[in-house]
Every structure is written in C-alpha cells, then in structure tokens.
Structure 1
Amino acid sequence: MKRSAAPAARDTTDTPDWLAEALASIKADKAVRKDLPDGGRLHIDRALPFLCLHISGDDEGPVAREIAQANASYLVAPDANVSALVIEAVGGLLKRRLGAFMVLEIGELARDELLTDDAPYLPPFKIEVTASPQGPARIAAKAFANAAEATEAKFRTPRVEIREAEGLDLPFPCLRVRFAPIYRQRESGNIYPQLRERLIASIFDAGLQAFAAFVRATKSMNISTHRALGRKAFIDAVVRTDRSIDEVASTFDFLLAVTPINAEAAWSEFAASEYRRPPRFLYRPLTLEVEKAKKKLFSIAFDHLEDPVLYHLYREKQQELDLQLSLLSARERATFIEFGRALYGPVEPELLRTAQDILARTGDGATDAAPESRVAERHADCYSVEQQARAMIAEYRRRYAGFDATVEVRDDLPTGLLVSGSRLLIARSTAMDAERVEPILSHEIGVHLLTYFNGSAQGLRLFRSGLAGYEGMQEGLAVFAEFLTGGMSHERLRLIAARVVACAAMLAGASLPEAYRLLVQDHGFLKADAFNVVLRVYRSGGLAKDAIYLRGLLQLLAHLASDGALEPFWMGKIAASHFGVMQELSARGLLGVPAVRPIFLDNPEAPSRLAKARAGMSPLDMVER
C-alpha cells in the first residue's frame, strides 16, 4: 500500500484558518463545505464516524473523485500531506465524539488489465481492496467486497481482491480501494457514459455498505440501513439544477396543450357525419418555442450534483421533458403517435386482455335507447362540483396551510375535471351522478393536488412536477382513491378499460371512427361516452396516455398485495419504479413525511377496503355489489 493511501499522523503546531473553521463547524454540529487553498474540497454534512478520501494529484481518476464526492462526508485532497493534516484533525475530533473513525480512500488503477483488444467477450474487471489490520476495517472490507460482487452486472462483473496492509502504522482504520477504469476505452480514452454511471452507483453503494459494517462493528451509530449514511442535505448545485429543470417544465402545460378546446362542436360535427369522418379538433396556440426550450433543457449541467441518485432522477426528468416537447412540436402530425408511444409505452398484451375481460364481464348491452333516465341521474352540474371542490380544498388547507389550490370553471375543456399544477379545472359541460362527486374529487384533489403540494414541501420542485414516468402510478392511486371512498362502479371501471382498448386500436392503426365503432358496437358504450373516450385517445394525432390508468391501478394492487406501503406515494409525484428511491431519500433525511395525508383515508370504510386490497384483489373485485 502506498503511503498516500493512508496518511500517517503528522506533527503540526499551526492549524490553517480554513481547517480551524471546519473543526469549529463540526463542534457546533454545522455542515462543512470548504474549498481547499491548493485545490480539493472538504465536505461533511453531519458528524459521521468516517471520511471518504480521494487524492486528486494530477486529476487522475475522475470517476473515483465523483464516487468520493457522492458521500455525506468526503475529502478531495491535492496531495498526501494535505490529506494527512485534515484526517488527523477531523478524524481525531470525530473519534472523540463518536468513539470510532475510519477512512475509505478511493482511486483508480492505471489500466484495465483484464481486457484485451481482441477479447470475444467482456471479462470481469479488477477491484483491489486493501484493509488495515484492525478488526472493524477487515469487516468493512469484506462488506465492500460482498456488496460489489452482488451488483447486478449489465456489462462486466467485478472481481474483488482483498489484501493485507503493508505494515503502515495507520492513525485510524483504513480501506484503500482501487478499481479498473472500465468506463473508458483503452486506446482512445473515449467514455462509455452508461457504464460510467453504473460504475459510480455500484461502487458508491458498496462504500456505504462498508461504512455501515464499520459502524455496526464499532457501535458508533444506530442505523436502520446503509442508505441512512448518505447525504442529508441538498447542496447548492442540486437546488440550482432543480430550479433550472422546473423553469423548463413550467413553461408549458402538456395536457392542456394537446387537449382540444372544441369538444362539443367536434361531437356535433362527428354526429352530423353519421360517425364516419373524424371531426376537426382545435387546440390552444403554443406559447413557447420548442427548440428554444430544448436548448435550455440540454444546457442544464448535472456534473456537480455529487449524488448518483439525484443525478439519475434529473437525467430521467430531462429525457421525459424532451419527449414532451417533441410531442408538442409534432401536434397533428404522424410522428405524434410515435413520440407518444415512446413516452407512455405500448399497450402490453396482458394489459389489453385485462381490459377486454373487464368489458366482457361488465357489459350490460347499454345503448342510447333511454337517454332521459341517464340525464335525470346526472344532477350534479359543474357548479355543484365546484362548490364541493372548494369545500374539500378548504379542509385540506385547514390541515396544511400550504395547500393553496384554486378552482376554475372553463369552457375550453372536454367534459370532466383536470388538474394543472396547483389548479383544479372543471369543464362547464360537466354533469355527473351526485354520488360520483366525492370519489372524483378524491381522485383529483386527494391525489393529484395533494402530491403537488406535498412535493412542494420537500424542498425540491422535482417532487411536485413529478419524477419521470410518475403519471401511471398517479392515476393508479387516483383510481384507487375512488374505490376507498366507495365510488368504483361497473360504469367507471368499464370507462377505464375502454381507454386501454381504444389506445390499443389507435396504436395498431385504427382511425377515430373505427375505434368509436369498436366501443359502441362491440362493447355497448353509449355514443357520447364512446366519443369522449376516443377524443382523449386521438387528441393531437393520437396519444397513448390513457392506457396508464388501468396499468397504474394493476401496479398499485400488486404493490399492496406484496405488503407495500402507501406512505411514500403521498410525498410527491413518483413512479412505481421510484418507490425504493423515495425510501432511500427518506432514510437519508432528505425527504420529510407528507405535509398532509389524503382525507379519503378517513372514510369509515377505507381501512376495510384497503385490507381487502392487501389480501389480493383484481380491478373487478373493487366494484361493490
């Protein structure tokens, strides 16, 4: 082991001012973020019994540097002398406070020795781990090796070699990690971006596992998971990136931009053609320049976030916004469908079979034969819905002052309700059964608006605008909210299934009249209801979004049946794939508990209905007879 890997104690009578300030901050339980005079940085967001060290030297090992900087406590030092000075002072202070302290020094091997230019396959890559002789350090080394080797391999698997320290008298337990630079090509030095990101994430996680093993062995802290040792504060670079992403996202309302403003006139035109010709849809003019927005979106830098988890979340969001902007630029063009397919995915065969099964098992041969009775049932108009919406929002605001939602009744929307940011929009043509009002408001206010304001309370706007792909789980939760309030009917479930069937037909090349006839003739839908479905599906040229309601509901039911918790979903707008991420960020203290919980959970029947879902339930089981 080279001496630079584990600095020995150093006599010094003079403590630099910057180091004295850092020590004073630690003593006062304040965060430390100091740029070193000769380059490098000391970052400690709270007192922890470890420090991740990278000695930058001539700037070799850029990925090792990023891994070090991902930690809650790290030192990037220009040379071994500076690292010795800092570690002796900081380590001594933290050891006195916590009872233990260790250093994990990380760097890169000079070359990828196991890969040859003519290799017919991708061989394992080398990770060297050298541990000081103390017992806790060897325990930490074994934990690092186990975690690194257990990483799911997509490209190359690690081969970890644990070595004995070479007799250095170390002031603290120390691990020295060196990994092969598999993220770059041997000859050209070109970077493999995806491999680079996976390498950072996997070695960073293995480092946390090593720290956790050390903490448990020394009993220096009580932790529930190794993830709890991650960062507990957002650095300024994260906040700047978050604001920049939100500035782009807030320049347009995607759903309003792709939704027709002439729904009633389009219905009259379609009916006048005897349902044979697609009607003309009119849209709001775009208020943004798509190319200018894309240029701003891709000018946002993520290389200073120092957190692999947040880096991944913002990159995902950037890609999603790019697709949404591409959709806006392709409104009413043939490419719109394909961009929509890329954003929302295809209709999977199993999802389509489920939707068809729902329609087959709930069909009652309903037609337009008795429209009078249907109209008579719909005695809650838009103003009644508005009044109850304002009352529900007032109750949420009573429970959480930050629930600052507004309600608008508008003429430029299809029948129904829509949430846009902090606004609940109600179409003036809206009419529904009185007993449907509470369930639909639980859907729109209790899920969409609630997660918007709870996400706002988390400190990053990303959680209110939504993590990439959040809409499916959002709609699944919203439909489930209807069930918890006793509002799931055959009619509602059939509508959700019809959207899937219409999306599948649209993606398969069916025209709007063909999809309309499929719903009316094959599945017995009322003409006006069938048109509302196809209007949504064929808006702007064909949008596959409406399949996500049933897909999200199925994902949620599977999550509940496997004893999954609901609480993380109330923290903000997240996808099913982000459940583990939210748990990690919560364990690290970066996310707080939801500012307000859904009111519909207070429904007297909600606990029993939730228990049924946890016991295993299909969408058809949600209809109460």
Structure 2
Amino acid sequence: MKILTIQQIIKNIENEVVFEAYAEDESFKIKIDEYIPYVCAAIHDGGQMRDDVLEKCSLSTYERWYEEDPHTAEFVGNFPILIQGCDSRFEYDLNRDPDNAIYEEAWGKNVWETPLSESQKQRSLAKHHAFYEVVEALIQKLESKFKKCVVYDIHSYNWKRWDRPVPVFNIGAELVDHQKFGDYVESWRDGLSLIELGDIHNYTAVNDVFYGRGYLLGFITNKFKDTLVLATEVSKIYCDELTGESFPEVINQIKEGFKTAILNHAFEFIKNETSYKVSKQVNILHNELESDLIKIDKQLYSLVKDFELLSVINPINLEFEKKKFLASNYKYEPQFKYNPLNIDPFEFKRKLSNIKVEKINDISIQNMYVDTINAYFDKVDLLANLGTNKFLYNSLRYFGEPSKKDVDNANFVLYCPEFRMEKEGEFNENEVVELFKNATQDYGFQFDIEVSDHIASKALVINSKKKVVIKKGVKFDKRFTKGLIEHEIGVHMVTTMNALKQPLKIFSIGLPVNTLTQEGLAILSEYYSDSINHDRLRELGLRVLAVNMLTSGKSFNETFLTLMEEYKMAPENAFYLTTRVYRGGGFTKDALYLKGLKTILNYIDQGKKLDNLLIGKTSVEYVDTIDELVDRKMINSPQYFTKIFKKHLEKPEINPILQYIFNGIKD
C-alpha cells in the first residue's frame, strides 16, 4: 500500500484522486474508492505504539487492547470511504481534544512508568493534528461537492463492566442538531436494531451508555453544519473481553448487519439530502473488483479448474458389470471400478486452506467464497473415500438426503395417471450427436461432442473440458431427445459459456450445491418445451425413491428389484438408475432434480427473474449477492439466454397436464 505525506493526501482529496494509503508515519490509513457523501471512520481500531513511547508504558498489550476498538474497521471496510486509526489510543486519543489527548491516567490506571518527555508528547500530538487536517479536508471536499454528508463513527465498548443490561448498539447523539438530523438518528437506530446476531438479543439505544461527546463528532459538527456524525458504539459481544479471544461468527454477523444498515441509511440520506444522483442502493457501493478479490478468485480457479466430480465417479467397468449382474439373475453385487484420483486429497485441502478469503472486504462476497471453498473440502472428502462406506456419509454432507416432503412429491408424480404413452419414434446415438451439434451451433457455441459407454446417464456435460458426452448404444425417444437438448445445451451449456464471460471464475467452478439450481433450471427447460413424457416424469420420482432406499440401508440388489418389480422398470433401465445412485459408495445427488424443479418453480412464483441464475454455475441461495454484483457491474449479465425460457416469456404455453402435476409438488 502507498505511503503518502499529509500534504500529498490532502492534495489527492482536493483533486478528487481515488487512492488508498497510509500516512507517512503509518499512524492512520485512508481509503477513497469513490467520492461519495458518506464516510466510515474507525479511529480506535489500531493498537500500535512508537517504540520510544511503548518502553515507558506501564500497561500490558491486553490492558491496552481492552480499551481499544478492535475489528471496528473490519465492520465497515467494504464501504467506499474509510478512515482508520492505526495507533493505540494510549499513545494519543483521536477522540479527545489535543489538550487531553495524551493520558496520564486512564480508567483508574497509571499509563506511564516514567513520564513522557515534552518532545515525545509533541510528536504524538503532531499525529493527532495531522489526522484532523485530513478529516477537515475530506469533509470540506464532500460538503462542497454534495451539499451534505454523513459520517458513521464506529467504536466499541466493554459491556461486562456495567452492572445492568446495556445496548448492543448505542448511538451517541447529544451533540447532533436534532432539528436538522433527528429523523436520521432515529432511522439509524431502527436499522441497527434489525441486525440479527443469532442467540444474542439486539437491544439498540440512543444516549444510553455513551452520549456522543467524542472529539471527532465535535470537531466535524462545529466546523461543518451540514454533516451528520453518528457516533456508534458496539458492545464487545464479538470477543471475550477477559481474554481477548475473537468470535469470527459474530464478527461476520456484525459486518453483514452493518452492510445492510449503512446501505439503507446512507441511501436515504444521500437521496433526500445531497446532490449526489442515485437510483439504487448498490450505486453507493464501489463497483470495481478489488485486487485481493481478483487474486483469490484466480487462486481458487487455478486449484479447482480441472476438478470434475462426475467424470471421476463414473465406473470404468459399467457395461461389464451390467452384463454380469443381469446374467446372474440379479443376485450378483456389482463391483465397480474407478479411475485413479489425479489429486492428493491432503495436499489439495492444504492449498484450499491457504486461500486468504478474509482479505475480501465485502462480507457478502466473502461468504460466497468461504462457502464455495468449504464445498470443495466436502467434494475432496467424497473423492478421497470413493468406493468406501465413508463416501455415502460425505455425499449426505454435501448433497443431503430426501426429506419426507421430497419423498411425498416423488410418490405424487409416480401415481399420476399415465399420459403420452404413445411413442413418437426413436433416434440412434449418431442422429442424437447431429442434433446436439445443430443445437450447439444455433447458440454459437464451440463445444466438443463425444460418444462413450462409460457414463451412467444418457448424456453428460463436462464443463471444464467444454464437452458433451452421449451414451453409446442407447436409443433416444424423439420427444425425450428434444428435452435432453434443452436440458444439456439450453441450460448446462448456456451456463458454462456464460461463466466463461465473467471476470470472476467462481461462476465456472460453481457455487455450493449448484446442482439443485442448475438441475432445477434444466428440468424447467424440459417442462417449458413440453418434452416431458410419462417415463421421464417417473424417472425423476424414482431417482428420489432410489436415493431414499439407499439412505434407508437397502442394498444395490434390493433397490434394483424394487424398481423392477414394484415400479415395473425394464431390467436395463433399473440397473442404470440404481447404478447412478449407488456408484462411488452412495451418491445422493439424484434426489436434487425434482427438488430443484420445485425450488425454481417457487422462485418464479415469487416474481423473480431467471436471468442472473444463468450467468454461470449459480445457486438460488446466493441470488441476492449475484444480483448485487450484476447491479454493481462487477460481473456481467448473461450473454446467452436459454431460448425456451425466452420463448416462454414471450408466449407462455404450458401443457395443462404437466402444469397440474408440477403445481402439485410446490411447497
């Protein structure tokens, strides 16, 4: 990071230069991503002391930490303008006036073993003075440019020293001009009170334990009548006051809460009080990808780009085992074999652990990356236990298992009256390859299409290789083929190609359990294209029941026989479906297809658009973050859009039988 003189910092501000820098003595740090009429300040965040002062200090590191405000800069680090104190308040206190900024005694303790010299005091006070020169230049610039400004002055306090219930968030507003800004004090309190902190009760108050008499608020308020300073204290619920141990989960909850509260509050203030033109909340956030985010994204992509779960867990002796199984009159227990792993699981997880996701300032984006990395831990554990009993445990941890509602939905579609039993003819594999090629060319994709007998499904998209694999020797019903093309090309290939157009590679490698969303979209494309027949509907239901039988302890043979005898599947089809579920040791992914469709149908019923779910391998769970990234122009809107979705938007035509059936599986 740059180190600038005070004069250089002030000149940058006057010339509206976007920059991030330490003061030349590293006493404070300032970040300006954009000139915008709100500022976040964390002036007691730091704990450093000059050596010549530290050697005279009688307080331990912990005693100093106890009265400092750790993590407060982290709470608001994702906003465009942040000014952050780096020195300990025990060297000089930025929230006290210059005459009282250097303590002799603090909170009943003598600060110095031997008195500071006058030159030492003056050196500390020069830092204090320099900081306020910059604050004055910054607020002067923002007020002159935008008429008004709001400052979120963030502190923390030790709640355990109080012998009564005290607020989690306290706003000190005694010095605020309530006639001018009183409504904004109240709306700030309302916003803070909505922050959810798990089991911690959030009581938020104004002028309870602190009154807002600090020097920063007073300095700005006296000099700038059109700037509102909201001195805000956070009780140290996010750490153990007695040991100094931090609680990362609570810290993240506060970061998430502040992001929402400040966005809501600053947006209203800016829109109503300033000349800054803004139409959406996200417009007051910085819209460029931070360098740390880009580095982390590249690091993660480089590590996992060739990681293909499905291609690894497909048995290499599938057809051989099928023959043995069918020839044994269904008594033989298939012994599937798999390609050797091309990764060292321990080394892979070590490299995942070394990715410094905490450097991502925006908490929503950080959470998305943390969850994705954790998902890869689960995937690695899956592969590391391929072919063992532990594989099923890890599959359940990642994909989950069917709920009672999922099983009920599966039975519902299975017991629907038969429809479309007439055959419309069949395609062989070569004809299907040509149809896939035509569909691919129609979208303008460059994709390889391959025929193989080493897959359990009829078709498979391998994203990392930009390849579609068609199962060798299978006859394809014509209506089913139409749906298969919509499924594989219109959704899976569309999202693969859109992901390649994104500046962030996380959408190529896939968000956690993106299968639920991606397969839900894919089945939706079959639904909208009117290509689902009774056999396909039964297949979706039977996949759920097969997974349920697996998790209930049924053997491969028992599940196969149930599918064949009770649900009248042809032996070969029952074998393939059972294999899909039992491969690897127990693969529960297939329960997500019907559940995914239900999720997407409910999503559409809420009036939400599908567009941003198509930007890559996305998940409904992260759609708010994805929408925000698109609105902030940090990622691109989808270049390719599923054609059947577009056609449906222009002229909705849904088969009434399918509509009745699928309406029955919604929550």
Indicate the TM-score class for this superposition, using the shorter chain for normalisation.
0.7 to 0.9
Higher deviation after alignment, 175-184 or 407-416: 407-416
Q: Indicate conservation of the 8 Å contact 2:352/2:373, yes or no.
A: yes
Secondary structure class of the residue paired with 2:195: coil
Counterpart Cα distance in 2 of 1:509 and 1:32 = 61
Structure-2 change in CA distance of 1:36 and 1:530 (3 Å): farther
Counterpart Cα distance in 2 of 1:382 and 1:621 = 35
Identify the match of residue 286 of structure 2 among 202, 207, 231.
Answer: 231
Structure-2 change in CA distance of 1:110 and 1:321 (3 Å): same
Counterpart Cα distance in 2 of 1:85 and 1:396 = 59
> Does residue 113 of structure 2 align to residue 88 of structure 1?
no
Aligned to 1:24: 15
Counterpart Cα distance in 1 of 2:324 and 2:180 = 77
Counterpart Cα distance in 1 of 2:81 and 2:431 = 56
Q: Indicate conservation of the 8 Å contact 1:143/1:206, yes or no.
A: no
For the aligned residue pairs, the C-alpha RMSD in angstroms reads: 2.9
Secondary structure class of the residue paired with 1:274: coil
Q: Indicate conservation of the 8 Å contact 1:143/1:209, yes or no.
A: no
Q: Indicate conservation of the 8 Å contact 2:428/2:474, yes or no.
A: yes
Secondary structure class of the residue paired with 1:173: strand
Structure-2 change in CA distance of 1:238 and 1:404 (3 Å): farther
Structure-2 change in CA distance of 1:605 and 1:130 (3 Å): closer
**Uncovered stretches (5+) of structure 2, i.e. residues with no partner:** 49-67, 87-93, 95-127
Q: Indicate conservation of the 8 Å contact 1:114/1:126, yes or no.
A: no
Aligned to 1:11: none
The one-letter code of the counterpart of 2:171 is V
Counterpart Cα distance in 2 of 1:404 and 1:534 = 33
Structure-2 change in CA distance of 1:528 and 1:557 (3 Å): same
Aligned to 2:429: 382
Aligned to 2:448: 406
Alpha-carbon displacement from aligned partner over 1:63-91 (angstroms, at most 9, x marks no partner): 21102212122222445544423332233
Aligned to 1:501: 545
Aligned to 1:516: 560
> Does residue 164 of structure 2 align to residue 101 of structure 1?
no
Structure-2 change in CA distance of 1:239 and 1:287 (3 Å): same
Counterpart Cα distance in 1 of 2:378 and 2:75 = 30
Counterpart Cα distance in 1 of 2:203 and 2:74 = 21
Secondary structure class of the residue paired with 2:268: helix
The two structures have a TM-score, normalised by structure 2, of: 0.81
> Does residue 43 of structure 2 align to residue 52 of structure 1?
no
**Structure index of larger Rg:** 2
> Does residue 65 of structure 2 align to residue 65 of structure 1?
no
Q: Indicate conservation of the 8 Å contact 1:260/1:413, yes or no.
A: yes
Q: Indicate conservation of the 8 Å contact 1:109/1:179, yes or no.
A: yes
Structure-2 change in CA distance of 1:392 and 1:113 (3 Å): farther
Shift of 1:210: 2.2
Shift of 1:603: 3.9
> Does residue 390 of structure 2 align to residue 342 of structure 1?
no
> Does residue 13 of structure 2 align to residue 38 of structure 1?
no
- What is the aligned length? 585
Counterpart Cα distance in 2 of 1:137 and 1:404 = 59
Q: Indicate conservation of the 8 Å contact 2:313/2:338, yes or no.
A: yes
- How do 1:200-599 residues align onto structure 2 when only pairs under 5 Å count? 200-362=255-417, 377-378=425-426, 380-397=427-444, 403-421=445-463, 422-599=466-643
Q: Percent identity of the aligned residues?
A: 21
Counterpart Cα distance in 2 of 1:466 and 1:41 = 36
Counterpart Cα distance in 2 of 1:505 and 1:444 = 28
**Uncovered stretches (5+) of structure 1, i.e. residues with no partner:** 1-13, 117-122, 367-372, 398-402
Shift of 1:194: 1.6
Secondary structure class of the residue paired with 2:358: coil
The one-letter code of the counterpart of 1:53 is A
Q: Indicate conservation of the 8 Å contact 2:530/2:654, yes or no.
A: no
Q: Indicate conservation of the 8 Å contact 2:157/2:234, yes or no.
A: yes
Q: Indicate conservation of the 8 Å contact 2:491/2:522, yes or no.
A: yes
Shift of 1:465: 1.6
Shift of 1:295: 0.5
Higher deviation after alignment, 321-330 or 577-586: 577-586
Counterpart Cα distance in 2 of 1:51 and 1:554 = 44
Identify the match of residue 84 of structure 2 among 76, 79, 85.
Answer: 76
Higher deviation after alignment, 508-517 or 270-279: 270-279
Higher deviation after alignment, 93-102 or 466-475: 93-102
Q: Indicate conservation of the 8 Å contact 1:141/1:210, yes or no.
A: no
Aligned to 1:10: none
Alpha-carbon displacement from aligned partner over 1:2-53 (angstroms, at most 9, x marks no partner): xxxxxxxxxxxx9622442454354xxxx43334323343323333111111
Secondary structure class of the residue paired with 1:16: helix
Structure-2 change in CA distance of 1:544 and 1:136 (3 Å): farther
Structure-2 change in CA distance of 1:48 and 1:604 (3 Å): closer
Identify the match of residue 172 of structure 2 among 103, 124, 130.
Answer: 130
Structure-2 change in CA distance of 1:383 and 1:16 (3 Å): farther
Secondary structure class of the residue paired with 1:187: coil
Counterpart Cα distance in 2 of 1:328 and 1:404 = 30
Shift of 1:233: 1.6
Counterpart Cα distance in 2 of 1:616 and 1:157 = 45
Counterpart Cα distance in 2 of 1:135 and 1:232 = 35
> Does residue 666 of structure 2 align to residue 619 of structure 1?
no
> Does residue 222 of structure 2 align to residue 169 of structure 1?
yes
Hey, which bits of structure 1, 4+ residues long, moved more than 6 A? Answer: 610-613
Structure-2 change in CA distance of 1:268 and 1:209 (3 Å): same
Shift of 1:137: 4.2
Shift of 1:283: 1.1
Counterpart Cα distance in 2 of 1:344 and 1:67 = 33
Counterpart Cα distance in 2 of 1:544 and 1:504 = 9
Shift of 1:154: 1.4
Alpha-carbon displacement from aligned partner over 1:313-363 (angstroms, at most 9, x marks no partner): 111011100000001011111111111001011210011011012112246
Structure-2 change in CA distance of 1:387 and 1:20 (3 Å): farther
Counterpart Cα distance in 2 of 1:424 and 1:24 = 54
The one-letter code of the counterpart of 2:73 is R
